[in-house]
Amino acid sequence: MKFPPWLLPGDKVAIISPAGKIERQTAERGSEILRQQGYRVLLGLHAFEQEGIFAGPDVARAADMQQALDDKSVKAIFFSRGGYGSIRTQQHLNWSSFFKKPKWLIGFSDITVFHAFLSIHNIASLHGVMTAWFEKDGNLTGSFTEMLELLKGKTPLYTVPSHEQNRIGTATGILTGGNLSIIQSLRGTPLDISPKGKILFIEDIDEYHYHIDRMMLNLKTAKILEKISGLIVGYFTAITDRETPFGKTSSEIIAEAVAQYRYPVCFGFPAGHELPNQPLILGSRILFNVSDKEVNIKLL
Protein backbone atom coordinates (compact mmCIF):
# COMPACT_ATOMS: atom_id res chain seq x y z
CA MET A 1 0.00 0.00 0.00
CA LYS A 2 1.36 3.41 -0.99
CA PHE A 3 1.08 6.30 1.46
CA PRO A 4 1.10 9.88 0.13
CA PRO A 5 3.67 12.18 1.80
CA TRP A 6 2.74 13.66 5.17
CA LEU A 7 1.80 17.33 5.19
CA LEU A 8 4.39 19.98 6.01
CA PRO A 9 3.89 23.58 7.21
CA GLY A 10 3.09 25.87 4.29
CA ASP A 11 1.93 23.06 2.00
CA LYS A 12 -0.78 23.80 -0.53
CA VAL A 13 -4.09 21.97 -0.10
CA ALA A 14 -7.39 22.08 -1.98
CA ILE A 15 -11.06 22.13 -0.99
CA ILE A 16 -13.32 20.54 -3.61
CA SER A 17 -17.08 19.89 -3.81
CA PRO A 18 -17.49 16.63 -5.78
CA ALA A 19 -21.00 15.76 -4.65
CA GLY A 20 -23.77 17.66 -2.83
CA LYS A 21 -24.18 21.41 -2.85
CA ILE A 22 -22.80 23.36 0.07
CA GLU A 23 -23.31 26.81 1.51
CA ARG A 24 -20.58 29.23 0.50
CA GLN A 25 -20.07 30.32 4.10
CA THR A 26 -19.30 26.77 5.27
CA ALA A 27 -16.69 26.05 2.61
CA GLU A 28 -15.08 29.49 2.91
CA ARG A 29 -14.87 29.10 6.67
CA GLY A 30 -13.23 25.69 6.17
CA SER A 31 -10.72 27.33 3.86
CA GLU A 32 -10.01 30.05 6.42
CA ILE A 33 -9.44 27.47 9.17
CA LEU A 34 -6.91 25.59 7.04
CA ARG A 35 -5.09 28.83 6.33
CA GLN A 36 -4.99 29.55 10.06
CA GLN A 37 -3.31 26.15 10.48
CA GLY A 38 -0.52 27.27 8.16
CA TYR A 39 -1.60 25.88 4.79
CA ARG A 40 -2.11 27.56 1.45
CA VAL A 41 -5.58 26.77 0.14
CA LEU A 42 -6.93 26.31 -3.37
CA LEU A 43 -10.72 26.56 -3.24
CA GLY A 44 -12.44 24.91 -6.19
CA LEU A 45 -13.72 27.38 -8.78
CA HIS A 46 -17.12 25.65 -8.85
CA ALA A 47 -17.27 24.72 -5.16
CA PHE A 48 -20.40 26.82 -4.53
CA GLU A 49 -22.34 26.11 -7.69
CA GLN A 50 -25.76 24.48 -7.51
CA GLU A 51 -27.61 22.24 -9.91
CA GLY A 52 -30.41 20.34 -8.23
CA ILE A 53 -28.91 18.56 -5.25
CA PHE A 54 -25.40 18.81 -6.68
CA ALA A 55 -22.60 21.35 -6.32
CA GLY A 56 -22.93 22.26 -9.98
CA PRO A 57 -22.92 20.09 -13.13
CA ASP A 58 -20.91 16.86 -13.18
CA VAL A 59 -18.32 18.27 -15.56
CA ALA A 60 -17.80 21.38 -13.41
CA ARG A 61 -17.31 19.37 -10.22
CA ALA A 62 -14.97 17.04 -12.07
CA ALA A 63 -13.00 19.95 -13.54
CA ASP A 64 -12.25 21.26 -10.04
CA MET A 65 -11.17 17.86 -8.84
CA GLN A 66 -9.10 17.20 -11.96
CA GLN A 67 -7.25 20.46 -11.40
CA ALA A 68 -6.45 19.45 -7.83
CA LEU A 69 -5.42 15.93 -8.87
CA ASP A 70 -3.09 17.26 -11.57
CA ASP A 71 -1.60 20.19 -9.64
CA LYS A 72 1.73 18.87 -8.32
CA SER A 73 1.88 21.63 -5.72
CA VAL A 74 -1.35 20.42 -4.06
CA LYS A 75 -0.46 17.94 -1.32
CA ALA A 76 -3.96 17.08 -0.05
CA ILE A 77 -7.56 17.36 -1.22
CA PHE A 78 -10.18 18.08 1.42
CA PHE A 79 -13.76 17.49 0.30
CA SER A 80 -16.28 20.10 1.38
CA ARG A 81 -19.12 17.63 1.98
CA GLY A 82 -20.66 14.34 0.87
CA GLY A 83 -24.33 13.98 0.04
CA TYR A 84 -24.55 12.35 -3.36
CA GLY A 85 -22.65 12.80 -6.60
CA SER A 86 -19.12 11.42 -6.18
CA ILE A 87 -19.83 8.44 -8.43
CA ARG A 88 -20.98 10.84 -11.16
CA THR A 89 -17.84 12.96 -10.73
CA GLN A 90 -15.67 9.85 -10.83
CA GLN A 91 -16.84 9.05 -14.40
CA HIS A 92 -15.05 12.17 -15.71
CA LEU A 93 -11.68 11.89 -13.93
CA ASN A 94 -8.26 11.00 -15.27
CA TRP A 95 -6.04 9.75 -12.46
CA SER A 96 -2.81 9.28 -14.42
CA SER A 97 -1.01 12.31 -12.92
CA PHE A 98 -2.23 11.43 -9.43
CA PHE A 99 -0.86 7.88 -9.70
CA LYS A 100 2.59 9.26 -10.45
CA LYS A 101 2.52 11.41 -7.31
CA PRO A 102 -0.34 10.50 -4.92
CA LYS A 103 -1.69 12.99 -2.42
CA TRP A 104 -4.07 12.67 0.52
CA LEU A 105 -7.80 12.59 -0.20
CA ILE A 106 -9.87 13.38 2.90
CA GLY A 107 -13.58 12.92 3.56
CA PHE A 108 -16.28 10.43 4.47
CA SER A 109 -19.86 9.41 3.60
CA ASP A 110 -20.32 9.74 -0.20
CA ILE A 111 -16.54 10.19 -0.47
CA THR A 112 -16.38 6.41 0.11
CA VAL A 113 -16.50 6.24 -3.71
CA PHE A 114 -12.99 7.70 -3.91
CA HIS A 115 -11.76 5.65 -0.96
CA ALA A 116 -12.93 2.52 -2.80
CA PHE A 117 -11.18 3.60 -5.99
CA LEU A 118 -7.90 4.23 -4.19
CA SER A 119 -8.18 0.93 -2.32
CA ILE A 120 -8.32 -0.90 -5.65
CA HIS A 121 -5.12 0.92 -6.65
CA ASN A 122 -3.37 0.30 -3.31
CA ILE A 123 -3.16 3.95 -2.29
CA ALA A 124 -4.05 5.06 1.24
CA SER A 125 -6.65 7.77 1.89
CA LEU A 126 -8.16 9.40 4.97
CA HIS A 127 -11.68 8.87 6.30
CA GLY A 128 -12.05 12.15 8.17
CA VAL A 129 -14.16 15.22 8.80
CA MET A 130 -15.18 17.72 6.12
CA THR A 131 -15.61 21.49 6.30
CA ALA A 132 -18.83 21.67 8.35
CA TRP A 133 -17.13 19.56 11.01
CA PHE A 134 -13.89 21.52 11.31
CA GLU A 135 -15.38 23.52 14.18
CA LYS A 136 -18.37 23.50 16.49
CA ASP A 137 -19.70 26.45 18.49
CA GLY A 138 -16.71 28.53 17.41
CA ASN A 139 -14.08 26.02 18.53
CA LEU A 140 -12.04 23.59 16.48
CA THR A 141 -13.31 20.06 16.93
CA GLY A 142 -11.05 17.41 18.37
CA SER A 143 -11.76 15.35 15.27
CA PHE A 144 -10.33 18.11 13.06
CA THR A 145 -7.19 18.66 15.14
CA GLU A 146 -6.58 14.89 15.40
CA MET A 147 -7.01 14.60 11.65
CA LEU A 148 -4.39 17.28 11.02
CA GLU A 149 -1.99 15.60 13.45
CA LEU A 150 -2.44 12.34 11.57
CA LEU A 151 -1.81 14.07 8.24
CA LYS A 152 1.46 15.35 9.71
CA GLY A 153 2.50 11.77 10.45
CA LYS A 154 1.44 11.34 14.08
CA THR A 155 -0.28 7.97 13.90
CA PRO A 156 -2.72 7.30 16.75
CA LEU A 157 -3.49 4.35 18.97
CA TYR A 158 -7.26 4.05 19.34
CA THR A 159 -8.76 2.72 22.56
CA VAL A 160 -12.51 2.15 22.59
CA PRO A 161 -14.70 0.97 25.49
CA SER A 162 -16.11 -2.54 25.29
CA HIS A 163 -19.57 -3.14 23.85
CA GLU A 164 -21.90 -5.97 24.81
CA GLN A 165 -22.05 -7.21 21.22
CA ASN A 166 -18.30 -7.15 20.56
CA ARG A 167 -16.58 -10.39 19.64
CA ILE A 168 -13.22 -10.95 21.32
CA GLY A 169 -10.18 -11.65 19.18
CA THR A 170 -7.07 -10.26 17.52
CA ALA A 171 -6.39 -9.71 13.83
CA THR A 172 -4.11 -7.83 11.50
CA GLY A 173 -5.20 -6.61 8.12
CA ILE A 174 -5.67 -3.70 5.74
CA LEU A 175 -8.33 -1.25 6.89
CA THR A 176 -11.00 -0.62 4.26
CA GLY A 177 -14.62 0.49 3.92
CA GLY A 178 -16.60 3.59 4.82
CA ASN A 179 -20.29 4.26 4.32
CA LEU A 180 -22.26 1.01 4.09
CA SER A 181 -24.81 2.37 1.58
CA ILE A 182 -22.02 3.46 -0.75
CA ILE A 183 -20.20 0.15 -0.35
CA GLN A 184 -23.48 -1.54 -1.30
CA SER A 185 -23.96 0.75 -4.32
CA LEU A 186 -20.52 -0.24 -5.65
CA ARG A 187 -21.17 -3.98 -5.51
CA GLY A 188 -20.68 -5.58 -8.92
CA THR A 189 -18.62 -2.66 -10.22
CA PRO A 190 -14.82 -2.31 -10.59
CA LEU A 191 -14.92 -0.46 -7.24
CA ASP A 192 -16.36 -3.46 -5.39
CA ILE A 193 -14.63 -4.43 -2.16
CA SER A 194 -11.85 -7.02 -2.25
CA PRO A 195 -12.28 -8.66 1.17
CA LYS A 196 -9.33 -11.02 1.62
CA GLY A 197 -6.93 -9.76 4.29
CA LYS A 198 -9.11 -6.71 5.00
CA ILE A 199 -10.58 -5.35 8.20
CA LEU A 200 -13.86 -3.74 7.22
CA PHE A 201 -15.10 -0.47 8.73
CA ILE A 202 -18.76 0.48 8.19
CA GLU A 203 -21.05 3.36 9.20
CA ASP A 204 -24.32 4.84 7.92
CA ILE A 205 -27.05 7.42 8.41
CA ASP A 206 -30.74 7.97 7.61
CA GLU A 207 -31.58 4.41 6.64
CA TYR A 208 -34.33 2.01 7.61
CA HIS A 209 -33.47 -0.99 9.74
CA TYR A 210 -34.55 -3.34 6.99
CA HIS A 211 -32.21 -1.54 4.56
CA ILE A 212 -29.31 -2.28 6.92
CA ASP A 213 -30.39 -5.91 7.04
CA ARG A 214 -30.63 -6.11 3.26
CA MET A 215 -27.17 -4.60 2.78
CA MET A 216 -25.56 -6.86 5.37
CA LEU A 217 -27.19 -9.92 3.81
CA ASN A 218 -25.87 -8.86 0.41
CA LEU A 219 -22.34 -8.80 1.85
CA LYS A 220 -22.97 -12.14 3.52
CA THR A 221 -24.44 -13.85 0.45
CA ALA A 222 -21.51 -12.62 -1.64
CA LYS A 223 -19.13 -14.14 0.97
CA ILE A 224 -17.61 -10.72 1.67
CA LEU A 225 -18.30 -11.12 5.38
CA GLU A 226 -16.87 -14.62 5.29
CA LYS A 227 -13.54 -13.50 3.83
CA ILE A 228 -12.72 -10.38 5.87
CA SER A 229 -10.38 -10.58 8.88
CA GLY A 230 -12.33 -8.30 11.21
CA LEU A 231 -15.22 -5.83 11.42
CA ILE A 232 -15.28 -2.33 12.94
CA VAL A 233 -18.74 -0.80 13.28
CA GLY A 234 -18.99 2.97 13.57
CA TYR A 235 -22.03 5.15 14.09
CA PHE A 236 -25.34 4.10 12.63
CA THR A 237 -27.11 7.42 12.98
CA ALA A 238 -30.86 8.09 12.67
CA ILE A 239 -31.69 4.52 11.64
CA THR A 240 -35.48 4.28 11.69
CA ASP A 241 -38.43 1.98 11.08
CA ARG A 242 -41.35 2.19 8.74
CA GLU A 243 -44.90 1.81 10.08
CA THR A 244 -44.22 -1.79 11.11
CA PRO A 245 -41.04 -2.06 13.24
CA PHE A 246 -38.33 -4.34 11.91
CA GLY A 247 -37.75 -5.73 15.39
CA LYS A 248 -33.97 -5.42 15.66
CA THR A 249 -31.54 -2.55 16.21
CA SER A 250 -28.78 -1.86 13.70
CA SER A 251 -26.16 -3.42 15.99
CA GLU A 252 -28.32 -6.53 16.41
CA ILE A 253 -28.74 -6.79 12.63
CA ILE A 254 -24.99 -6.53 12.04
CA ALA A 255 -24.14 -8.94 14.87
CA GLU A 256 -26.55 -11.50 13.44
CA ALA A 257 -25.03 -11.18 9.96
CA VAL A 258 -21.53 -12.04 11.23
CA ALA A 259 -22.51 -14.44 14.01
CA GLN A 260 -21.14 -17.56 12.32
CA TYR A 261 -17.63 -16.15 11.78
CA ARG A 262 -14.73 -16.10 14.25
CA TYR A 263 -12.90 -12.82 13.57
CA PRO A 264 -12.98 -9.90 16.06
CA VAL A 265 -15.89 -7.47 15.86
CA CYS A 266 -16.06 -4.01 17.45
CA PHE A 267 -19.25 -1.99 17.87
CA GLY A 268 -19.42 1.67 18.82
CA PHE A 269 -16.23 2.89 17.16
CA PRO A 270 -16.47 6.73 17.14
CA ALA A 271 -16.46 7.42 13.41
CA GLY A 272 -19.24 8.33 11.00
CA HIS A 273 -21.97 10.95 10.93
CA GLU A 274 -21.51 12.21 14.49
CA LEU A 275 -18.83 13.81 16.62
CA PRO A 276 -16.30 12.71 17.59
CA ASN A 277 -15.47 11.40 14.12
CA GLN A 278 -12.07 9.80 14.55
CA PRO A 279 -9.80 9.93 11.49
CA LEU A 280 -8.95 6.56 9.94
CA ILE A 281 -6.30 5.83 7.33
CA LEU A 282 -8.02 3.52 4.89
CA GLY A 283 -5.36 1.34 3.31
CA SER A 284 -3.25 1.18 6.46
CA ARG A 285 -2.26 -2.13 8.02
CA ILE A 286 -3.62 -2.30 11.53
CA LEU A 287 -3.45 -4.48 14.60
CA PHE A 288 -7.04 -4.92 15.79
CA ASN A 289 -7.49 -6.31 19.29
CA VAL A 290 -10.87 -6.78 20.98
CA SER A 291 -10.78 -7.86 24.63
CA ASP A 292 -13.53 -8.09 27.24
CA LYS A 293 -12.37 -4.75 28.65
CA GLU A 294 -11.60 -2.56 25.63
CA VAL A 295 -10.74 -2.37 21.94
CA ASN A 296 -7.31 -1.30 20.70
CA ILE A 297 -6.53 -0.37 17.11
CA LYS A 298 -2.92 0.37 16.18
CA LEU A 299 -1.37 1.24 12.85
CA LEU A 300 1.50 -1.06 11.94
pLDDT in tens, 256-283: 999 999 999 999 999 999 999 999 999 9
AA letter at 175:
L
Examine the domain organization and report whether 26 and 76 are in the same domain: yes
**Considering the domain boundaries, does residue 2 fall inside one?**
no
Q: For position 131, what pLDDT does the model report?
A: 97
CATH for 31: 3.40.50.10740
Residue 161 and residue 295 share a domain = yes
Question: Which pLDDT score, from 0 to 100, does residue 284 have?
Answer: 97
| Cβ proximity of 213 and 246 under 8 Å | yes
CB-based contact 81:50 (threshold 8 Å) = no
Catalytically annotated residues: 109, 203, 273
Report yes or no: 122 and 197 within 8 Å, Cβ to Cβ: no
Tens of pLDDT, residue by residue over 16-69, are 999 999 999 999 999 999 999 999 999 999 999 999 999 999 999 999 999 999
Q: What is the pLDDT of residue 94?
A: 98
Task: State phi, psi for 31 to the nearest 5 degrees.
Answer: -65, -40
Each residue's pLDDT tens digit, 77-109: 999 999 999 999 999 999 999 999 999 999 999
Q: Which domain holds residue 129?
A: 12-151
Q: How confident is the prediction for the chain on average, in pLDDT?
A: 97
Indicate the pTM of the whole model: 0.97
Average confidence (pLDDT) over 147-169? 96
